[in-house]
Amino acid sequence: SGSQFSLLPPDNATGNFTKVVQRIPVKILLDPGSPLAGRLRPGMSAVATILTDGATAQP
């Protein structure tokens, strides 16, 4: 298959199924005084919601 000749072949044996092309950098801003701010660490996974219509998120 084509993945055999790619620069970064998928390494499915480790359980990491995220391909490099699917990773995009994002900047996450936390509200000042948020109780969860101290629990976040680099490398953690997250689910981000991107609003494209100019509306603000509802908590």
Closest CA to 26 of 8, 54, 49: 49
* Chain segment 17-34, per-residue pLDDT in tens: 655 566 777 777 778 888
Alpha-carbon span 59 to 30, nearest angstrom: 13
Whether the pLDDT of residue 39 is over 60: the answer is yes
Closest CA to 28 of 19, 14, 17, 41: 41
Q: How many percent of the chain have pLDDT more than 70?
A: 53
* pLDDT at residue 40 in the model: 81
